[in-house]
Amino acid sequence: FSYPMPNKKEQSATHHTLSDEERERLELCRKGYDDTASAQSTLLDKTIISISGAAYTIAIGFIDKIIPLGTAKYTWILWISLSILGLTIIATTLSFWAGEKSARKWREACDTAECKNDYNLFYAAKNDWVKVVCILNNVRLIFFICGIFLLSVFISYNGMIKKEVTKQKHGDTVMS
């Protein structure tokens, strides 16, 4: 979805009353921001339920079936990866919350511009929530990649050890 932006001439002009075209643009922006805030709220609920429920259930249930935690080495890597994945869930939740705040802030800017009959107020508005969303999105991506990487390291290392032990029990050497 693309929000309408005025050209340079429109931005530099001082308006004391809003034209019909400017009112239409503000209404389109307002609707877009309302839709964004609503979508963020819906996504927040679904994401929290989906990720938090699935991440730990799959990680603990799946790993314990393949790699018994009682005999696994370097289990601290597993716990760190699960902690990082938990931080990913928290960062995702905060990102959706900040996205909703950002959409509402832009909506307020639309309302202010319309109320004061000055279209330039909309484009002069500052919204620090946009920066917060951007930072949180980067943080959660980094957390997710690190968590998955560490989980993979744990599974790979312990999976290789299990295969080597199984081969040796059958009389094979590690090299065969």
Question: Is the CA virtual torsion 129, 135, 138, 140 positive or negative?
Answer: negative
> Mind listing the pLDDT tens digit for each residue in 43-88?
765 666 576 667 667 776 777 777 777 888 888 998 998 899 888 8
Question: With 60 as the cut, is the pLDDT of residue 168 above it?
Answer: no
Distance, CA of 46 to CA of 77 (rounded, Å): 29
What integer pLDDT is reported at residue 135 of this predicted model? 94
Quick one: pLDDT band at residue 18, thresholds 50, 70, 90? confident
Tens of pLDDT, residue by residue over 34-47, are 777 777 767 765 66
Two tokens, residue 118: 């000055």
Confidence of residue 7 (pLDDT cuts 50, 70, 90): very low
The answer, yes or no, to whether residue 103 has pLDDT greater than 90, is no
Q: What percent of the chain has pLDDT over 90?
A: 7
Mean pLDDT of 136-152: 88
Tokens of 60: 């603990």
Of 6 and 45, which is predicted with more confidence?
Answer: 45
Residue 149 has what pLDDT? 92
Instruction: Give the model's pLDDT for residue 5.
Output: 46
pTM listed for this prediction: 0.63
